[in-house]
Structure 1
């Protein structure tokens, strides 16, 4: 193994509480949205691409209005994440510091452009990662973005660490092993490895 590619939400951090504050602040200013979103709403949407999040959270809106609402919410979300951050899972930085001395580290997340950058800005963890990708920049699926990272960085034996069935499918698409972060938001019924806490990566690798 020469590298580890990480999912972000549910794998490295839980930013739902900060995102909720930002989204509901903007939602309360938008007449077309009926209700505030809840933490459970977001848990059920984690790992989805932004268009699918719009369909899940605002099914009563047409696609154009969904896109407008999402854009408004995501713009404020980035500002909030840069200012307030999210909740890192236990020992994340300590583990990344150790792993980065042996492996090349990357992030591929189903998020909008600027989200990973906000994670880097608030928590100061960008120094451990060599590259990152998301559909907000490329318009590609998670599996395609994983392949893009592999090709762009000439990786020969990577693994992907994530917490959802979507992460499993993306790993299969990219034809690389999947490490299931069981402590995260989602569920996966297949995996090559499983961890119940982030620091268990040190026992695996």
Structure 2
């Protein structure tokens, strides 16, 4: 059996690095982070975020790169995983194949792999940029023919399982609203709960 994990908001406590980065990037444009629900951006594709912020059809590439580089910098300096993540992943690795599916840039995932030693636990990474930020369910439909359970904190994570006829587990401690969990097999309030149900 395969367990597919979302990264930001499921394993990685992204708000620490993300808030600092987006605050600076918005300040460059004379915008205030307090005017946005920045946590709702976590888990979205970067172009989607900047389309919401700028409300136009301009090329978002420079903003995506600059903000993305800032997120990596702060993640490398002071990033954290959710409490219990390492112990839980070490436990699950002995029973399942663990993959990551994240709608992020390749350079970000590579930095996270190094910072947190993710390769000790995960054998495959499906990275949004490698698929031109395709919907997550489409990536898994293309890449996985085996049975899997999708674990994440946003609606798109749930759809990555449900639209492919697979079970999902919703991380209520992440950045999505409870309404996004509809159809989930289980809800968890801590990543450590996976040890009891898997």
TM-score, normalized by length of structure 1?
Answer: 0.85
CA deviation string 1:175-203 (max 9, x = no partner): 21111111111032221122111111111
Instruction: Determine which of 38, 45, 49 is the counterpart of 1:42.
Output: 38
The answer to whether 1:71 aligns with 2:71 is no
RMSD: 2.1
Structure 2 CA distance, aligned partners of 1:122 and 1:85?
10
State the secondary structure of the residue aligned to 1:47: coil
Aligned to 2:131: 138
The answer to whether 1:8 aligns with 2:35 is no
Structure 2 CA distance, aligned partners of 1:196 and 1:77?
25
Distance apart, 1:39 and its partner CA: 9.9
State the secondary structure of the residue aligned to 1:96: helix
Aligned to 2:148: 158
Structure 2 CA distance, aligned partners of 1:27 and 1:115?
20
Indicate how the Cα distance of structure 1 residues 116 and 149 shifts in structure 2: closer, same or farther if over 3 A, else same. farther
The answer to whether 1:123 aligns with 2:123 is no
Distance apart, 1:47 and its partner CA: 2.2
Deviates more, 1:10-19 or 1:142-151: 142-151
Structure 1 CA distance, aligned partners of 2:78 and 2:114?
8
Structure 2 unaligned residues grouped into runs of 5+ = none
TM-score, normalized by length of structure 2?
Answer: 0.87
Structure 1 unaligned residues grouped into runs of 5+ = none
